[in-house]
Structure 1
Amino acid sequence: MDWNQASTALFTALGLGLMIGVVRERAQPPHLLPAGTRTHALVALLGCTAWLLSPWVMVAVLLAVTALTVIAYRASVAEDPGLTGEIALLMTCLLGGLAAHQASLAAALAVVVAILLQAKAPLQKLSREWISEGEIQDILMLAAPALVVMPLLPEQPLDRWGVVSPMTVWKIVVLIMAVGMFGHFAQRLLGARWGLAIAGFFAGFASSTAAVTSMGQQARNHSALTIASAAAALLANLASLLLFVAVVAAASPALLQASAAAFAGAVGGLLLVIAGLLAKAHSNGGLQPQAGHGKAFKIQQALLIAGLIAGVSLLAAWLEELFGHSGALAAAIIVALAEVHAAAAGVAQLAAIGKLPVQVASIGIIAVLAASCLSKGVIACIAGGRRYGLLVGSGLLAMLAGALIGLLLG
């Protein structure tokens, strides 16, 4: 290693040691602080120098720092039984060693360590007061399918058409649960009126169907949130519609131009209903329930919706096999019952390669939207009950009506 690399490593180690040390020294009273700014800076330089000399020297230094840390802990355990300071000192040594060969990674990790150390009080309040026992159970229930089950599932499709794989179906289940969790905590932070709306809109870029389902669960758990949940579900569909337009634009600019008025009408109709629902939710603000009650999601409904999507995808693949290319448009409409963006991409691709005239493809785009509205209306009724389903359905119908008006006037 030349001088430039060594100096970069040493300066990085010194900087990260000072940063972690300052945070530790400000967090603890002086009489309870075995390692402050100078100690952390020296330990970081020690770790970096040791690694520059030899990995074996680094091992010896790490063992020595560990022994000193144990001695310091035994001396202060009566007044300060926590291990945060001791672990931070060992981490500083390791980051100093890491700076010797990956300075940027060491600096980034040091920032994370400093943030965690600085956020002691907020994190304690979060874990002890803010998150309820039921929410911890929900988090674990989400983590198990996402981190334990999903990596074990095969990605290869099980059917002969290659449209349904266990990994894909399970991702839908996890996504519906994650959207429900996101909406639940957004409601806690921002209130039902705005928290659900923000959560719904951003969830729509991932899956508007998952958002409709999870917001329906909110409405079923808290009837006072039905209007706010419906508005959030329609905001998810607005995000999905924007993504729908982007997919069409990428696949067939000519089709986008021909359907621009229809898309504008769809956005306008949807926004009109969303604005009305948000205004109504604002006027009913006093009816909001206290945060922290109810489950963030129901895994049974997530499994049901994922199963329905997989079944519709199989049906579309079967019909396309029966009717060949002439049935591609019909298959795309059926696919829209499960995945509207894939259906939109299919229609746009047919227009781009000349298998469908642009005018016919424009009608196909409206048909795809109609199929998607139908499926989401049914899902809304299943997930959130009749009133929620009617509110969501009214917004979807307004979107479809706006698209039809735009197509006729365009």
Structure 2
Amino acid sequence: MDALIPRLALALAIGLLVGLERGWRERDAPAGDRTAGIRTYGISGLLGGVVAALALAFDAPAILIGEFLAFTAVFTLYKLREDIHDDSFSVTGTVAGLAVFALGALAVAGDQRAAAAGGTALAAILASRDLLHSLVRRISWIELRSALVLAVMTAIILPVLPARAIDPWGGFNPHQVWLFTVLTAAISYLGYVAVRMFGTTRGVLVGGLAGAVVSSTAVTVALARTAAGGANPWPLAGAATLAAGVSVLRVTGIVVIVAPAVLGVTALAILAAVAGFAACGAFFLMRGRLEGDGPQILRNPFDLPAVMIFALFFGVVSTISAALAMGNTSGMVATSAISGIFDVDVAVLSALRLLGQAAHLEAVGHAVLLALTTNALGRLVVAAATGPVRFWLPIAAATLVAGALGLAAFLTLPHFEWPGTPSVLGS
């Protein structure tokens, strides 16, 4: 029974944590004017733990069930009286009290870590009321629809897709293609939502950096058009240069999630290139100021047609890469370089998924770096086609500096073995 004491302590702590949040929110209410505060919630958690211990001791689950029903009736009755007095229709406090009792029981009769995590999450959700309500007020139907599309794609479509290659070269695995499509769109969508929450009207720099999480090419086009309209090109070029660095970091995030072992080949070169973009971008920004809020460069990255086009493009490139990589990894590298001009995410993911199957670690690392390089060159071509010389020439210089630093780091610094588990792609 020695182990029972820390479990009961956890049950009490869960109740006190939730009660602290509830008590703080209602701290200005007169004493005795509220049904439950920090003490009541703490006792509720401890009561759940004690009842669960009794149920275990007597091997009678009915004790826990009956006490939970009794607690529900009493707690709900008092909360009902409080709501009538306050002319309120909120049921949050009631549900929180029932959850505290249940988590206290779980802490004694079940998984302690799950109970602790559940209590922490419950307190965090209760404390985030204003933030969540603000988010609901600000979110648009398009964004809500995109979140629902993500849920359907992840929870309904993904599990039913075959998790095996259906082509002779082992390149087109419907489950993997769909998984990486959802992953890439979700990363961009999170950036899009963050910008919508915190706003893009804080100047060209914030808008450019935030927009690069979605599409650095779109950022470059928007900034180039602003420069073509007569605005000071230096800060615009600086924002575009920093956006290029953010784009590289975003792709690196995909590598970290999908195949972190590749970072042993690419990480130092990527860091050197990002440092080059950052230094050049900061220098350009110091050359002049731009008045106003800057261009609006965001679009919803989870539009269904765009997602389907990405999945189709990814599937085609993956199949071609696998076919060319059969006994010849240079074909896979070449495919990544070409596809990287149009979509760096497709190029990088197509290379990563071949790790351990048709390509070794060094070859995949080379493909990732080459895809980033060709994407930077493609972005530079877009800048030159849509903006004035004074806009794209600094970007060209920054791209050259970043590329030179990345190449120097790749050739001179040793590659290393990334610690941890191997690729999550599987075989």
Provide the TM-score with structure 1 as the length reference.
Answer: 0.71
d(CA) in 2 for partners of 1:16, 1:351: 46
d(CA) in 1 for partners of 2:263, 2:299: 41
Give the alignment of 1:302-381 within 5 angstroms.
Answer: 302-321=307-326, 324=327, 327-336=328-337, 337=339, 338-339=347-348, 342=352, 369-370=369-370, 372-374=372-374
Give the alignment of 1:384-399 within 5 angstroms.
Answer: 387=386, 394=396, 399=402
2:215 match: secondary structure: helix
CA contact (8 A) 2:10 2:116 kept: yes
* Residues 209-251 of structure 1: CA deviation (Å, up to 9, x unaligned): xx5x63445667896698646642442225657979x856746
CA contact (8 A) 2:336 2:367 kept: no
Shift, 1:51, TM fit: 0.9
Give the alignment of 1:154-169 within 5 angstroms.
Answer: 154-169=162-177
Cα distance change of structure 1 residues 376 and 143 upon mapping to structure 2, 3 Å threshold: farther
Partner of 1:67: 73
Asked if 1:8 is matched to 2:14, the reply is no
d(CA) in 1 for partners of 2:190, 2:35: 40
d(CA) in 2 for partners of 1:44, 1:96: 5
* Residues 90-116 of structure 1: CA deviation (Å, up to 9, x unaligned): 011101101103333322321221222
- Counterpart of 2:116 (choices 102, 107, 111) is 107
Shift, 1:317, TM fit: 2.6
Worse-matched range after superposition: 300-309 or 264-273:
264-273
1:71 match: secondary structure: helix
* Residues 8-59 of structure 1: CA deviation (Å, up to 9, x unaligned): 1222222222222232223233566222223222222221111111122111
d(CA) in 2 for partners of 1:89, 1:408: 61
Partner of 2:247: 236
Q: Which amino acid aligns with 1:53?
A: L
CA contact (8 A) 1:320 1:328 kept: yes
CA contact (8 A) 2:242 2:281 kept: yes
Q: What stretches of structure 2 of length at least 5 have no aligned partner?
A: 56-60, 228-235, 340-346, 414-427
Cα distance change of structure 1 residues 229 and 177 upon mapping to structure 2, 3 Å threshold: farther
Asked if 1:84 is matched to 2:92, the reply is yes
1:156 match: secondary structure: coil
CA contact (8 A) 1:177 1:214 kept: no
Percent identity between the aligned chains?
25
* RMSD, aligned α-carbons: 4.6
Partner of 1:197: 209
Give the alignment of 1:7-86 within 5 angstroms.
Answer: 7-28=5-26, 29-30=29-30, 33-54=34-55, 55-78=61-84, 79-86=87-94
d(CA) in 1 for partners of 2:251, 2:188: 17
1:283 match: secondary structure: coil
Partner of 2:148: 140
Q: Which amino acid aligns with 1:116?
A: I
Normalized per residue, the structure richer in helix is 1
d(CA) in 2 for partners of 1:63, 1:238: 52
Shift, 1:157, TM fit: 1.6
d(CA) in 2 for partners of 1:366, 1:98: 50
Cα distance change of structure 1 residues 263 and 305 upon mapping to structure 2, 3 Å threshold: same
Asked if 1:175 is matched to 2:183, the reply is yes
Asked if 1:125 is matched to 2:130, the reply is no
Cα distance change of structure 1 residues 77 and 287 upon mapping to structure 2, 3 Å threshold: closer
Shift, 1:276, TM fit: 5.8
Give the alignment of 1:249-328 within 5 angstroms.
Answer: 250=264, 266=273, 270-271=277-278, 274-275=281-282, 283-284=289-290, 286-288=292-294, 295-321=300-326, 324=327, 327-328=328-329
CA contact (8 A) 1:235 1:274 kept: no
d(CA) in 1 for partners of 2:222, 2:19: 47
d(CA) in 1 for partners of 2:272, 2:148: 43
d(CA) in 1 for partners of 2:220, 2:142: 18
Aligned length in residues: 370
Cα distance change of structure 1 residues 342 and 215 upon mapping to structure 2, 3 Å threshold: same
Cα distance change of structure 1 residues 263 and 49 upon mapping to structure 2, 3 Å threshold: closer
Shift, 1:65, TM fit: 1.3
Cα distance change of structure 1 residues 302 and 380 upon mapping to structure 2, 3 Å threshold: farther
* Residues 183-230 of structure 1: CA deviation (Å, up to 9, x unaligned): 223434274623652685xxxxxxxxxx5x634456678966986466
d(CA) in 2 for partners of 1:304, 1:393: 29
